[in-house]
Chains A and B, each alone.
Chain A
Amino acid sequence: MQIEIRGNHFILLSQRAIFWEETQTLLIGDLHLGKITHFRKEGIAVPTIAADNNFERLNHLVQNTGASRIIFLGDLFHSDYNSEWDTFVTWRNKHHYIDMLIVMGNHDILPVSMFLEADLRVFINDFEEENFVFTHHPKVEPDPEKFVFAGHVHPVFTTYGKGRQSFRLPCFVVDPNQAILPSFGVFTGGFQMDLADRRNIFITTETKVFRVG
């Protein structure tokens, strides 16, 4: 589903990412890589097949969009170092032709040097370009002159229907000056969002994005 923001065109993808057409950039929020391996180290049995799923979806995205740049909106890696980081580095090297940036999130506790070694451009706070701001924590009062893309909250929305039916699905939240992306990673919780004035919510299944209201 394509939406227009400040004269630019953004595609909301059912893979829970946004593609910015003008600059051929993929925006990806809250990957939380390493979480599954982190569990396993704690004695919680999670087959690694679940972890592979993240990379499958990343590959799919990169191939389908032909993106030349990826901006990670923080919480790329869930915990301190574990072997899943190496898997990420391998994946990154395979896609060396793509420019990758990260704005740091609260979970990104790995040393900055490791990100740099993986050939990521690191922004501790925000990254700005043409009046667009890319950050991890959503702004409480975003500057109306600019437009913010953020992650962090893992937004979900619940729709209700007749016959006591309901769905709780990840969503994109688009306010006048700010957009929040759903969490990309599997295995992450969700924060319930509500409809509000001048707010658009887009829920997504694995195959399709819907506009609510």
Chain B
Amino acid sequence: MTKSRGHIIVEQWFKSKNWKWAAFQKEAAAAYLSGKSGLVNAPTGSGKTYSLWIPFLIRYINSLPKNPAKRSKGLQILWVTPLRALSKDLFRNMEAAALEMNLNLRIGVRSGDTSTKERASQKKQMPEALLITPESLHLLFAQKDSSETFKNLHTIVVDEWHELMGSKRGTQTELAIARLRTINPHLQTWGISATIGNLEEAKQVIVGMDSAEEDNVIIKSKTEKKILVESILPEKVETLPWAGYMGTKLVDYVVQIVQKSKTTLIFTNTRAQAEVWYRTVIEKYPEFAGIMALHHASLDREVRDWVEEALHDERLKLVICTASLDLGVDFRPVDTVIQVGSPKSIARFIQRAGRSGHRPGVASKIYFCPTNALELVEAVSLRDGVEKKMIEDRPPVIHAFDVLAQWMITLAVGGGFEEKQLFEEVRNCYGYQFINRQEWEWLLGYITTGSPSLEVYDEYKKVERIDGRYVVTSRRIAHRHMLSMGTIVSDTVLKVKFQHGKYIGSIEETFATRMKAGDTFYFGGMSLEFVRIHEMTVTVKKAEGKKGFLIRWAGSRMALSSQLSTFIRDRIDSAIENPLNEKELTKLKPLLELQRERSAIPKKTELLIEQCETREGHHIFVFPFEGRLVHEGMAIILAYRISKLSPITFSLAMNDYGFELLSDQYVDLEKVMKQTDLFSTAHLVDDIYQSVNATEMAKRKFREIAAIAGLMFQGYPGKFMKTKHIQASSSLLFTVMTKYENNNLLVNQAFQEVLTYQLEEVRMRRALDRIATQKIIIKITRKPTPFSFPIMVDRLREQLTSEKLEDRIQKMLKQYSDAD
């Protein structure tokens, strides 16, 4: 077979660069050029971009007519990326290849940052290739001529698909792909993904439900990256606290490693933690000033850009960052990565390890810095997980009716839609494959007349049905809808700026409104004095040397993944014997022995329960080692089942190892377990719903759903609208809809999300099934144990009660008079 023109040019190009066309890249090219869709599974820095960009160029070259004037114009390929920041790097690489092959091919970038001028020029003539975020892609569909824009589009590539798929942004992407497939039935859809547990599913989502088996494929890169994991251990285990998650006690050990390396990234799990680490390092090692930087999502885009550039140019020795640097540009100079605190998932740990040793053939090395003593067990388990390549799944979001409602309104704002045709199209999406006519009709009703209890209000009527098409005619509604599109619903944030006008970043309203003039706080590695708050801006000035508050950011703590928790249960079982002689466990031995002395160390076949009495009341600790989400659900279930027997009030707390039920009354567990099956999976969902807590949780979830579905307007940009008001009104809406409507899909979705994501129902069932086979050991302890102490000191608590409010107050007030 003779080689095509495209092939020849590409091969020459590879030769001129002195690069090798890697096997998986060739494989991907062959699949792409034969018209297939699918998934490329390759790690960052392995040339994954070129695996699909090069074949696109071949196709492009081959399609060029002899006469340049006859060239067909318009958009041919969409490249979806989760982060605006990524598009810069991608753009550079893609453009370089096209230029070096002498191609007159335009590549555009479209995101929230794209200037109005650039937008206008794109509107006049779309480039052949467009890099875009899911949000911006949806916005293109809100334009009247969208089907014209996409008529020549033949390829869509979704980069970092593993990142997008598990979120509602993934659902957004799916819906857009389905529409593009309608416009061009021969559309080729490709995803690029790092390794995840459910690659096959990831492919299915990207190619849609109608794709035939032989039309799609998974291409795996063979480049195996070796990952070395080493724990940072203190001389004495006592240096590590029993509880806590800051980890700054080990700062000296960490700095030693930093000093030996060229460039180090320190990953923390929260923004607050990153700020603390930055401050600790600079206070103890002032020589780091100027060669150390901070990077997290609340810092201003410009600040972050500067840090990324400086990293690239080898101007920094140390960057302390959060998940904000998980993705993104390759930082070749980075040779060391340190993870502070458990990353809670093996996949995340590997991803971060991959930020170092970017050259092919070089092993990635990651240091693990524990923040409390028990994390040493996690360290060993993480190493196990990495070795055995037990990577977690990223389950796609299913039945997100809020996103669908938003999409329907978006299309109605654009050219409008025909409902039967759209229904079929939506059913081709993995996330909506089971949607039925009844649900669809509810949604049509919702966007046209508002939900039943809101029907009287004009504000909620959005879409009209005209000549069989669903359209939005009001410009005001269209405008409001465009402003509130997207699936990321965050707390209201206020900009932080200096008096002279320079922006530093943003903080949440809840934190900002607690501050008064003269207060100081740490942010962006600086000590800042609060001057005033006006409209959406907090003005500050530098405050030298004063002690300050630590900013709090909302955001939940990550929970231990199912894979990792399995390893941990195994490790705990044999931790004292330590058959593999792991040095982390040797260090931990004194603590484990204390645990055994005061209570017990559970075998894999056992479930440990501790009971003890302190000044606070009567504690029950249960240790299933299943992660905090599952524990939250179990705590609710247990508390509810016990409280059904007699009036009692519990306060609940949990961590990744276990959970606590605290009460002012003693509970005789042996007796309770004879009366009722505490750990039964029967009536599980009913019992969860019966407890008030589930309703409260659903109410909180509903806020996001209501905002995405367009029930609540989040305000015009720059106009201050307090989160408190939005929250209050979303909870009112929830209450009214639950009370006056039987089958509100959005309310149902809120409950479903609580079950699926907040309480991990599936995993909880599996855990309960496991517990049913385990022997339950109840230990009465005189003092808190190494296992129970971290839970006991947790301040984040929920309540569950079967007592009457008035009775509880009476009881409580009695203590006041007793004290007199």
Contacts and interface: CB of A to CB of B under 8 A. Distances in A.
Residue with the greatest number of chain B CB neighbours at <10 A, chosen from A43, A159, A167 = A43
Contacts of A144: none
Interface in B663-711: 663-665, 706, 711
B713 A44 contact: yes
B713 A187 contact: no
Interface in A170-213: 187, 189, 203, 205, 207-208, 210-213
A161 B812 contact: yes
Residue with the greatest number of chain B CB neighbours at <10 A, chosen from A39, A50, A164 = A164
A47 B454 contact: yes
A211 B814 CA distance: 10
A1 interface: no
Interface string B711-735: 1110100000100111011101100
A7 interface: no
Interface stretch (B47-55, B73-81, B126-134, B801-809): B801-809
A158 to B, nearest CB: 11
B812 A165 contact: yes
Contact of B815 (A39, A46, A161, A207): A161
Given A47-B453, A164-B651, A212-B813, A42 B733 contact: no
B797 interface: yes
Contacts of B20: none
Given A163-B663, A210-B813, A43 B460 contact: no
A193 to B, nearest CB: 14
A213 B817 contact: yes
A194 B723 CA distance: 28
A153 to B, nearest CB: 17
Interface of B is mostly: helix
Nearest to B727: A44
Contacts of A44: 712-713, 721, 725-726, 729
Nearest to A204: B809
Contacts of B805: 167, 205
B715 A43 contact: yes
B662 interface: yes
B649 interface: yes
A102 B19 CA distance: 85
B736 A47 contact: yes
Contacts of A6: none
A207 B810 CA distance: 13
Contacts of A165: 649, 651, 664, 799, 808, 812
A203 to B, nearest CB: 7
A140 interface: no
Contact of A45 (B649, B712, B813): B712
Given A45-B733, A47-B736, A213 B816 contact: yes
B597 interface: no
A97 B484 CA distance: 50
Nearest to A213: B816
A49 B736 contact: yes
B736 A163 contact: no
B808 A212 contact: no
Interface in B738-757: none
B746 to A, nearest CB: 12
Interface in A139-179: 159-165, 167, 169
A117 B730 CA distance: 36
A189 B805 CA distance: 21
Interface residues of A, number: 29
Nearest to A195: B816
Contact of A161 (B711, B733, B811): B811
A207 B733 CA distance: 25
B651 A163 contact: yes
Interface in B433-472: 453-454, 457, 459-460
A208 to B, nearest CB: 5
A163 B662 contact: yes
Interface in A76-112: none
Contact of A205 (B650, B724, B806, B815): B806
Interface string B596-610: 000000000000000
Nearest to B617: A163
Nearest to A187: B728
Contacts of A39: 725, 729
A23 to B, nearest CB: 30
A203 B797 contact: no
B813 A159 contact: yes
B142 to A, nearest CB: 19
Contacts of A212: 813, 816
B98 to A, nearest CB: 46
Given A163-B616, A210-B813, A46 B728 contact: yes
A208 B806 contact: yes
A45 B808 contact: no
A163 B728 contact: no
Contacts of A45: 454, 457, 459-460, 706, 711-713, 729-730, 733
B732 A47 contact: yes
Interface string B39-52: 00000000000000
Contacts of A211: 813
B797 to A, nearest CB: 6
Nearest to A169: B809
A163 B728 CA distance: 29
Contacts of B454: 45, 47
B809 A159 contact: yes
Contacts of B808: 161, 165, 167
Contacts of B617: 162-164
A163 B618 contact: yes
Contacts of B665: 163
A207 B729 contact: no
B215 to A, nearest CB: 45
Lowest 4 CB-CB distances: which A-B pairs, in order?
A163-B617, A161-B812, A162-B664, A43-B713
18 contacts: A39-B729, A43-B459, A44-B713, A44-B729, A45-B713, A45-B730, A46-B732, A161-B812, A162-B815, A163-B617, A163-B651, A163-B665, A164-B662, A165-B651, A203-B809, A205-B806, A205-B809, A213-B817
Given A39-B729, A161-B664, 9 more contacts: A43-B713, A43-B715, A44-B713, A45-B454, A50-B732, A162-B617, A162-B664, A165-B799, A205-B806
